[in-house]
């Protein structure tokens, strides 16, 4: 946009008897019902003796892009005002945004002006594709946007209007209208809004509930819903059978003996590990944590990472694990309410599996597995006949039993080929950390954190392992430097940041340059 | 059928004297056509004029009552050629399409039509897709009007003015024997307003009457020597007639105080923005009353020299407000003034930006500069010197994620590009030619596929140059939609590839509709349409064109199959173009069609299955590989709240339509087993219930038995 260095102050001038044009722009993500919202607003204005005009740029509105709807209205004095067809920088009285970043976009585009604009925005997030495809966590932090709102807007009404609508069984357009009415930015009474909703026909009751809730929150007569990250996560309950109670208690006692800083994380880790394999496995886990604690001192960052990543390393994702999770009672329950199954309905569950020769062989006892891996002919045969997608109906007895059998191998997991490999790999990593910890605890802590790079299945898993190996490969170059820990962290971040690994190459090159 | 039903709007078309029509600009134009006794209407859908077509398609009954023929043309060229019915017969005809792209396609017919001229009024309604929200290259239709000498109306953007322009257009066309373009911008098309309706008029002569009484006048047929006479007639008869009409009927309007020292000459379409700018500068009230002398060109071509000169007479400076480039109007006016040796200062581009949409701020800045240079006394002091020091607002451009349009939830085209990605992982990157349509979103993340787009139906044509000397070498992959295929892809792309023995791969993305323009039916649509012949096979058409290697995929969601088929096409020894027709119904339209049906069936106690996908978050490791092959709006990331985990996991929300892409991709790419498909059966059969209950009993017995023996999360 071409804005002059010193822009001309260009405010709208009112009509002869003081009537003013009110400008309202709505930024929505395609498919959020921005069209419905605009029609409602126009109807409300007209019902209150105003002339109104709305425009939109449809076309891709139904798709997933950002779309602008624009409304102008003015008290009807018998003459037709000349309404503008699109919002102008610095000339928007009310800006409605149906998602946090769209609110930010409105500010960036100059549609939110100090001393003029009432900004009504939902604070929930709809992640853009660019945020989803990052191998780590690519989500944008919204705090800058929230701050900018405070500066740019004359009056801000911001809360999670999506969950308000959801709770009322409606869609966001109704809670947005409620927030608009509640903000008092339009000189129209509440019931005139509600009449329009009633007139619109479908889903009226739900829409009115969402409208009313949002109205109260915007007015400040009701508290806004808590953002998800503040709402406490549900801590799963551990079920301990009678005859294992004493063994379990012993483990808990060991946790209790740890420094306070490490207790909670270790407790979580312990539960995870025991749930994954058995009580003995939990004891192995505590051995590792205790070893690291012995080398550590307050604030125990090193031990924290040990507690976290040793649990991750011990609970590698193999067929047994997947089969175990997929056949649990708790899992069936979770699925049932996630997809909303009523009592008179039947649920059919299809799992998507694609076990390759690799997974098959490593799920066998060491000797047999190794023998098989050497037989290229057998691998070829398997690939030809068995390496394909499998759909397993876990609601049917047959399908369930297939997974059940696999999951019942759990007691002998330690004898399986995959376990041997995983444990060797883990030991190498852990011992390196122990070794480094003696001289550079901070670096050791980063070494432990590198386990974050190992995740996924098949190719994804292989890619993770190689990234891990390459990052760890830089260890010797970094040892002894006082910024070693920081560089180790940077390498990991680079590795997480892109799939191809170009960023990691760059970071490694830099390390070599100064270490070489 | 179109994705929206226009039953309500159709009722509005019946309004008559004394009714007040309320609705979108594009619907107002539709009504105006009927009020002006149009005899036939054609066109090709596309934003921003799709709704005009959709409404008429739903208005069959009214149209036949009036004896008006409507058809959805195969292309803009077809539509314009249709106006031939007004060449010899006194029948008013109107066609509509998206411009500038549509006019490009139409230009052959347009030149012929313009040369021979018309007897009945011929109106071409062009939806000028320019400026913000435009989906096409930024060019002006004005050049076509000038080179073919067809007149162009650009009315002020309010319903009464637009409606009046329709009537004026027909008359102008008839008095000057010249087709007339009526230009409407994106927002004018979608502007909601009112106008006083008049009764619909039955055409005095219908197309049926014409067929019964054929006529031809040799001097209207485009063939030498007539063509020389046509050019002569354009200059000596048609142009003067048009200019006279424009003056006599006061098509162009004067506002403000005549005789003031400065003035504005503007396109009608920019009027509202100009008035708002003047209002913000304190020079106009909100009804448009202003001191500023303005000449509003509701007819932008031809210009009437005498009118322009009269306006400029005695002025120090005139500002031409002309959106888009080149600045044809400014050039013509400069030419007039120079020839007449005038000294008035002509301003235009320069003071206003050369290109781009003239938004509110641009207009305020431009007018501000013009006035401060040429009439500073007119500007209120307050407006000149800003005493408010602007508040510094943080720059968010680095923070905000881009949100380009992409494939809808459950789109059947997504798996096609997921498969293409997988093939490229195996065989390396290929040159990919894209086409116009939803499938063009493949250009965007996460797919990042496609190098060029050369026009509707021209995807494969734009790969024509890529002939690989090495028969075993890489081939190009080109995409074309079913819409583009029938628009002209069959001949320009497929026929061309066959004729020239191309070895490249062509993927025809068949989603049963012209989806990107609003889900209109086309030749290969699967729906039965009482006014159209649908269900014509794309595969048969290609075979008829001489394609030997062709594969039909009936479920694009089968990623593995699409991948293998594409791989085969890229590697097969067989010569000639390899054509893959990948068919699945546009999910947006399918949901509109199916949802009500299923709801009804469930109510009636029939067995109904609702599919949905889910993710086992304990199994998902948060690598997001699945999203790098999807980008589905319903598949997103969420926090687990588990301190042991760093990265957010995949999650599928309530909007999921259970298309199956997630599972298929996870399978084809061997990603992970975290996806599951849940099918919720309403009104299950008795046996089904019994079986479910039995297996549930056994399953939970096994589960409780195991849980009793281990420490595990309940």
Interface touch B191/A105, C-beta < 8 Å: no
Residues B623 and B497 grouped into a single domain: no
Provide the H-helix boundaries in B39-75: 50-58, 60-66
Query: Around Cβ A244, how many Cβ atoms within 10 Å?
Result: 15
**What's the pLDDT at B2?**
59
The answer to the question of residue B404 being in a domain is no
For B41, list phi and psi in degrees, rounded to 5: -135, 135
**DSSP result, A113-171:** -TTT-EEEEE------HHHHS-SS--PPPTHHHHHHHHHH-SEEEEE-HHHHHHHTTS-
The minimal CB distance from B621 to the residues A137, A151, A317 is found for A317
DSSP state, residue A89: T
**Domain region containing B674:** 607-683
Residues B656 and B521 grouped into a single domain: no
**What's the pLDDT at B450?**
97
The minimal CB distance from A101 to the residues B188, B386, B400 is found for B400
Query: Around Cβ B446, how many Cβ atoms within 10 Å?
Result: 22
**What's the pLDDT at A4?**
40
By percentage, how much of chain B surpasses pLDDT 90? 86
A104 to chain B, minimum CA–CA distance in Å? 7
Q: What is the pLDDT of residues B693-703, one digit of tens each?
A: 999 999 999 99
Residues B312 and B231 grouped into a single domain: no
**What's the pLDDT at A61?**
39
Q: CA distances (Å), B567 to each of A442, A498, B256, B423, B467, in order?
A: 50, 27, 68, 6, 19
User: CA B51 to CA B24: how far, in whole Å?
Assistant: 9
The answer to the question of residue B369 being in a domain is yes
- Helices A484-497 and A458-473: crossing angle in degrees, nearest 10, is 160
Q: CA distances (Å), B243 to each of B113, B125, B251, B303, B333, in order?
A: 20, 21, 10, 7, 15
Boundary (domain end) residue, out of B248, B264, B290: B248
Q: Which residues of B533-561 are buried (b: 16+ CB within 10 A; e: fewer)?
A: eeeeebbebbeebebebbbbbeebbbbbb
If phi > 0 it is left, if psi is from -120 to 50 it is alpha, else beta; for residue B400 that is: beta
Average pLDDT over residues B384-405: 80
The answer to whether the CB of B242 falls within 8 A of the CB of B302 is yes
B190 to chain A, minimum CA–CA distance in Å? 5
**What's the pLDDT at B359?**
93
User: CA B412 to CA A480: how far, in whole Å?
Assistant: 55
The answer to the question of residue B584 being in a domain is yes
Testing the interface with B: which of A45, A64, A234, A330 to mutate, by most B Cβ within 10 A?
Answer: A64
Interface touch B644/A269, C-beta < 8 Å: yes
Cβ pairs A/B, distance under 8 A: 415
The answer to whether the CB of B191 falls within 8 A of the CB of B160 is no
The answer to the question of residue B211 being in a domain is no
User: CA B619 to CA B649: how far, in whole Å?
Assistant: 9
**What's the pLDDT at A3?**
37
Model confidence at B387, in pLDDT bands (50, 70, 90)? low
A116 to chain B, minimum CA–CA distance in Å? 12
- Nearest-CA neighbor of B256 among B289, B297, B296, B298? B289
The answer to the question of residue B205 being in a domain is no
B46 to chain A, minimum CA–CA distance in Å? 8
Beta-bridged to residue A194, according to DSSP, are none
State the CATH number of the domain containing residue B647. Answer: 3.30.70.20
Would you state the structure tokens that stand for residue B485, as one six-digit string?
């295929």
**What's the pLDDT at B668?**
92
The answer to whether the CB of A350 falls within 8 A of the CB of B676 is yes
Residues B349 and B488 grouped into a single domain: no
Interface touch B671/A458, C-beta < 8 Å: yes
If phi > 0 it is left, if psi is from -120 to 50 it is alpha, else beta; for residue B615 that is: beta
Q: What is the CA A60 to chain-centroid distance, rounded? A: 26
Interface touch A353/B673, C-beta < 8 Å: yes
State which residue of chain A sits closest to B285, comparing Cα positions: A15
User: CA B104 to CA B138: how far, in whole Å?
Assistant: 13
B678 to chain A, minimum CA–CA distance in Å? 5
The minimal CB distance from A9 to the residues B388, B441, B560 is found for B388
Q: CA distances (Å), B500 to each of A290, B129, B432, B548, in order?
A: 74, 35, 19, 14
* Four-residue CA torsion sign, B7, B8, B9, B11: positive
Rounded mean pLDDT for each run of 10 residues along chain A, 516 residues in total = 49 85 90 86 96 77 70 94 93 95 94 94 93 91 94 95 94 96 97 95 92 96 76 71 93 96 95 95 97 94 96 95 95 90 92 90 92 91 88 95 95 96 97 96 96 89 92 94 94 87 90 83
Beta-bridged to residue B408, according to DSSP, are none
Interface touch A129/B631, C-beta < 8 Å: yes
Interface touch A349/B676, C-beta < 8 Å: yes
In terms of pTM, does the model score above 0.90? yes
State which residue of chain B sits closest to A81, comparing Cα positions: B287
Average pLDDT over residues B491-517: 96
Interface touch A63/B441, C-beta < 8 Å: yes
Boundary (domain end) residue, out of B384, B403, B427: B384
Query: Around Cβ B603, how many Cβ atoms within 10 Å?
Result: 11
Residues B354 and B493 grouped into a single domain: no
- Helices B661-668 and B414-427: crossing angle in degrees, nearest 10, is 10
State which residue of chain A sits closest to B4, comparing Cα positions: A62
**What's the pLDDT at A65?**
67
Instruction: Flag whether pLDDT at B19 surpasses 50.
Output: yes
Interface touch A126/B636, C-beta < 8 Å: yes
Q: Is the peptide bond before B541 cis (omega within 30 degrees of 0)?
A: no
State which residue of chain B sits closest to A233, comparing Cα positions: B641
**DSSP result, A176-221:** HHHHHHHHT-SS--HHHHHHHHHHT-TTHHHHHHHHHHHHHHHHTS
Rg of chain B over Cα atoms, rounded to whole angstroms, equals 30
- Nearest-CA neighbor of B57 among B67, B78, B42? B42
Rg of chain A over Cα atoms, rounded to whole angstroms, equals 30
Beta-bridged to residue B580, according to DSSP, are B507, B551
Residues B59 and B186 grouped into a single domain: yes
Would you state the structure tokens that stand for residue B15, as one six-digit string?
């309004």
What are the residues whose beta carbons fall under 8 Å from the beta carbon of B588, sequence distance 6 or more? A62, B3, B408, B411, B515, B519
What are the residues whose beta carbons fall under 8 Å from the beta carbon of A494, sequence distance 6 or more? A503, A504, A506, A507
Would you state the structure tokens that stand for residue B237, as one six-digit string?
């008869």
Residues B566 and B664 grouped into a single domain: no
Q: Half-sphere exposure (CA, 13 Å, Cβ side) for B263?
A: 23
Q: What is the pLDDT of residues B592-610, one digit of tens each?
A: 899 999 999 999 999 999 9
Interface touch A279/B711, C-beta < 8 Å: yes
The answer to whether the CB of A243 falls within 8 A of the CB of A234 is no
Interface touch A127/B384, C-beta < 8 Å: no
Model confidence at B6, in pLDDT bands (50, 70, 90)? confident
Average pLDDT over residues B165-174: 98
DSSP state, residue B3: S
A63 to chain B, minimum CA–CA distance in Å? 6
Instruction: Flag whether pLDDT at B379 surpasses 60.
Output: yes
The answer to whether the CB of B343 falls within 8 A of the CB of B317 is no
Beta-bridged to residue B21, according to DSSP, are B195
Q: Half-sphere exposure (CA, 13 Å, Cβ side) for A62?
A: 16
Model confidence at B96, in pLDDT bands (50, 70, 90)? very high
B169 SS3 class: helix
Q: CA distances (Å), A376 to each of A98, A361, B465, B509, in order?
A: 57, 12, 44, 40
User: CA A16 to CA B64: how far, in whole Å?
Assistant: 49
For B533, list phi and psi in degrees, rounded to 5: -95, 105
The secondary element (H helix, E strand) that includes residue B589 is helix B587-603
Query: Which residues in chain A have their CB less than 8 angstroms from residue B408's CB?
Result: 31, 62-64
Domains of chain A: 13-219 (3.40.920.10)
Q: How many domains does chain B divide into?
A: 4
Query: Which residues in chain B have their CB less than 8 angstroms from residue A84's CB?
Result: 272-273, 276, 360
Q: Are strands B293-297 and B253-255 parallel, antiparallel or unpaired?
A: antiparallel
Instruction: Flag whether pLDDT at B384 surpasses 60.
Output: no
The answer to the question of residue B402 being in a domain is no
B63 SS3 class: helix
**What's the pLDDT at B677?**
96
State the CATH number of the domain containing residue B102. Answer: 3.40.50.970
Interface touch A110/B612, C-beta < 8 Å: no
Residues B358 and B428 grouped into a single domain: no
Residues B558 and B621 grouped into a single domain: no
Would you state the structure tokens that stand for residue A428, as one six-digit string?
């190498």
The answer to whether the CB of B662 falls within 8 A of the CB of B626 is yes
Query: Which residues in chain B have their CB less than 8 angstroms from residue A265's CB?
Result: 643-644
Interface touch B133/A237, C-beta < 8 Å: no
**What's the pLDDT at A5?**
42
The answer to the question of residue B459 being in a domain is yes
Beta-bridged to residue B549, according to DSSP, are B578
State which residue of chain A sits closest to B369, comparing Cα positions: A8
Interface touch A131/B403, C-beta < 8 Å: no
Residues B240 and B301 grouped into a single domain: no
B657 to chain A, minimum CA–CA distance in Å? 12
Residues B242 and B260 grouped into a single domain: no
Residues B224 and B86 grouped into a single domain: yes
The answer to the question of residue B704 being in a domain is no
User: CA A176 to CA A215: how far, in whole Å?
Assistant: 9
Q: Half-sphere exposure (CA, 13 Å, Cβ side) for A46?
A: 15
Interface touch A108/B391, C-beta < 8 Å: no
**What's the pLDDT at A432?**
97
B1 to chain A, minimum CA–CA distance in Å? 17
Would you state the structure tokens that stand for residue B72, as one six-digit string?
């959805």
Q: What is the CA B66 to chain-centroid distance, rounded? A: 29
Q: What is the pLDDT of residues B31-79, one digit of tens each?
A: 999 999 999 999 999 888 888 888 888 888 899 999 999 999 999 999 9
């Amino acid at each position: 946009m071409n804005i002059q260095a010193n822009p001309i102050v260009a405010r709208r001038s009112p009509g002869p008897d003081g009537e003013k044009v009110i400008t309202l722009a709505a930024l929505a993500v395609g498919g959020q019902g921005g069209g419905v919202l605009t029609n409602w607003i126009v109807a409300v204005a007209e019902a209150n003796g105003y002339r109104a005009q709305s425009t939109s740029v449809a076309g891709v509105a139904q798709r997933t892009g950002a779309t602008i709807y624009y409304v102008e209205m003015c008290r009807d004095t018998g003459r037709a005002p000349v309404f503008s067809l699109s919002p102008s920088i610095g000339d928007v009285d009310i800006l409605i945004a149906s998602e946090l970043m769209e609110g930010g976009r409105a500010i960036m585009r100059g549609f939110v002006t100090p001393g003029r604009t009432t900004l009504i925005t939902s604070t929930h997030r709809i992640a853009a594709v660019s945020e989803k495809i990052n191998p780590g966590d690519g989500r944008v932090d919204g705090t800058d946007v929230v701050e900018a709102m405070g500066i740019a807007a004359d009056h801000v009404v911001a809360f999670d209007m999506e969950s308000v609508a959801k709770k009322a069984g409606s869609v966001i357009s109704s809670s947005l209208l409620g927030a608009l009415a509640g903000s008092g930015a339009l000189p129209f009474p509440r019931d005139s809004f509600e009449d329009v909703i009633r007139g619109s026909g479908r889903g009226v009751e739900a829409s009115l509930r969402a409208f009313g809730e949002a109205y109260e929150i915007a007015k400040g007569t009701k508290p806004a819903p808590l953002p998800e990250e503040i709402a406490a996560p549900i801590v799963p309950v551990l079920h301990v059978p009678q005859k294992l109670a004493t063994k379990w208690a012993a483990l808990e006692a060991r946790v209790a003996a740890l420094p306070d800083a490490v207790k909670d994380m270790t407790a979580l880790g312990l539960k995870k590990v025991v749930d994954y394999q058995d009580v003995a496995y939990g004891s192995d886990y505590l051995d590792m944590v205790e070893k690291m604690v012995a080398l550590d001192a307050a604030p125990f960052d090193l031990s924290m990472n040990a507690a976290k990543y040793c649990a991750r390393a011990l609970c590698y994702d193999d067929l047994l694990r997947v089969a175990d999770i997929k056949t649990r009672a708790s899992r069936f329950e979770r699925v049932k309410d996630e997809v909303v199954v009523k009592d008179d309905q039947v649920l059919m569950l299809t799992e998507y599996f694609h076990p390759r020769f690799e997974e098959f062989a490593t799920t066998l006892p060491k000797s047999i597995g190794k023998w098989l891996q050497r037989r290229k002919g057998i691998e070829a045969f398997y690939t030809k006949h068995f390496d394909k997608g499998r759909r397993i109906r876990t609601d049917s007895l047959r399908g369930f039993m297939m997974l059940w059998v696999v999951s019942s191998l759990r007691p002998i997991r330690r004898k399986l080929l995959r376990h041997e490999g995983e444990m060797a790999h883990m030991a190498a990593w852990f011992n390196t950390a122990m070794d480094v910890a003696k001289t550079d605890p901070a670096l050791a802590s980063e070494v432990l954190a590198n386990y974050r790079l190992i995740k996924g299945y098949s190719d994804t898993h292989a890619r993770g392992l190689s990234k891990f190996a390459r990052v760890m490969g830089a260890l010797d170059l970094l040892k002894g430097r006082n910024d070693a820990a920081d560089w180790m962290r940077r390498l990991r971040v680079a590795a997480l940041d892109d799939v191809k690994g170009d960023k990691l190459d760059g970071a490694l090159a830099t390390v070599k340059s100064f270490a070489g | 059928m179109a994705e929206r039903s226009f039953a309500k709007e159709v009722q509005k078309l019946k309004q008559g004297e004394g009714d007040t029509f309320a609705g979108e600009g594009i619907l107002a134009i539709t009504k105006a056509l009927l009020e002006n006794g149009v005899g036939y209407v054609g066109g090709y859908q596309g934003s921003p004029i799709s709704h005009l077509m959709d409404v008429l398609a739903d208005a069959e009954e009214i149209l036949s009552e009036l004896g008006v023929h409507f058809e959805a043309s195969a292309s803009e060229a077809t539509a314009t050629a249709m106006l031939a019915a007004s060449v010899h017969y006194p029948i008013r005809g109107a066609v509509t399409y998206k411009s500038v792209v549509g006019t490009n396609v139409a230009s052959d017919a347009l030149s012929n039509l313009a040369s021979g001229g018309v007897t009945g009024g011929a109106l071409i309604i062009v939806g000028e897709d320019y400026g913000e929200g435009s989906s096409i290259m930024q060019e002006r239709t004005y050049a076509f009007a000038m080179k073919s000498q067809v007149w162009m109306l650009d009315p002020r953007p309010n319903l009464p003015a637009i409606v009046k322009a329709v009537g004026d257009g027909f008359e102008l066309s008839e008095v000057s024997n010249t087709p007339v373009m009526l230009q409407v911008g994106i927002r004018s098309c979608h502007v909601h307003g009112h106008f006083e309706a008049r009764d619909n008029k039955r055409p005095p002569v219908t197309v049926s009457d014409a067929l019964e009484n054929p006529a031809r006048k040799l001097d209207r047929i485009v063939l030498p020597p007539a063509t020389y006479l046509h050019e002569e007639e354009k200059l000596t008869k048609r142009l003067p007639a048009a200019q006279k009409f424009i003056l006599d009927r006061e098509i162009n309007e004067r506002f403000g105080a005549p005789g003031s020292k400065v003035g504005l000459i503007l396109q009608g379409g920019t009027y509202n923005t100009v008035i708002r700018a003047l209002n913000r500068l304190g020079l106009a009230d909100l009804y448009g009353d202003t001191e500023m002398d303005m000449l509003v060109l509701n007819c932008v071509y031809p210009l009437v020299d005498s009118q322009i000169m009269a306006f400029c007479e005695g002025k120090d400076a005139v500002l031409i407000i002309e959106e888009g480039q080149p600045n044809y109007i400014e050039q013509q006016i400069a030419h007039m003034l120079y020839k007449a040796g005038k000294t008035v200062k002509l301003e235009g581009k320069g003071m206003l930006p050369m290109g781009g949409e003239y938004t509110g701020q641009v207009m305020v800045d431009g007018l501000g500069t013009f006035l401060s240079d040429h009439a500073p006394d007119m500007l209120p002091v307050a407006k000149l010197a800003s005493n408010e020091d602007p508040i510094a607002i943080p720059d968010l451009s680095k923070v905000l994620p881009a949100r380009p349009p992409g494939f809808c939830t459950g789109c059947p085209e997504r798996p096609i590009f997921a498969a293409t990605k997988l093939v490229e992982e195996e065989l390396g990157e290929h040159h990919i030619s894209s086409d116009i349509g939803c499938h063009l979103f493949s250009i965007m993340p996460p797919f990042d596929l496609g190098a060029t787009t050369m026009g509707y139906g021209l995807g494969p044509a734009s790969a024509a140059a890529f002939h690989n000397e090495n028969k075993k070498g890489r081939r190009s992959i080109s995409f074309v939609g079913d819409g583009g295929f029938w628009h002209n892809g069959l001949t320009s792309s497929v026929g061309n590839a066959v004729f020239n023995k191309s070895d490249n791969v062509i993927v025809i993305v068949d989603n049963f509709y012209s989806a990107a323009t609003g889900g209109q039916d086309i030749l290969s649509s699967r729906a039965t349409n009482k006014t159209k012949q649908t269900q014509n096979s794309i595969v048969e058409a290609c075979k008829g064109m001489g394609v030997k290697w062709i594969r039909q995929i009936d479920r694009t969601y089968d990623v593995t199959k699409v991948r293998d088929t594409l791989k085969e096409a890229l590697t097969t020894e067989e010569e000639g173009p390899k054509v893959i027709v990948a068919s699945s119904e546009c999910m947006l339209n399918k949901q509109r069609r199916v949802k009500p049906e299923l709801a009804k069936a469930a109510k009636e106690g029939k067995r109904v299955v609702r599919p949905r996908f889910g993710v086992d978050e304990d199994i998902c490791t948060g690598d997001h590989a699945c999203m790098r092959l999807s980008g589905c709006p319903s598949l997103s990331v969420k926090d687990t709240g588990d301190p042991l985990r760093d990265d957010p996991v995949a999650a599928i929300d309530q909007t999921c339509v259970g298309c199956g892409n997630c599972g298929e991709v996870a399978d084809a790419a061997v990603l992970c087993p975290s996806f599951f498909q849940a099918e919720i059966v309403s009104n299950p059969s008795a046996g089904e219930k019994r079986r479910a209950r039995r297996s549930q009993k056994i399953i939970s017995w096994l589960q409780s038995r195991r849980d009793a023996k281990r420490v595990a999360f309940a």
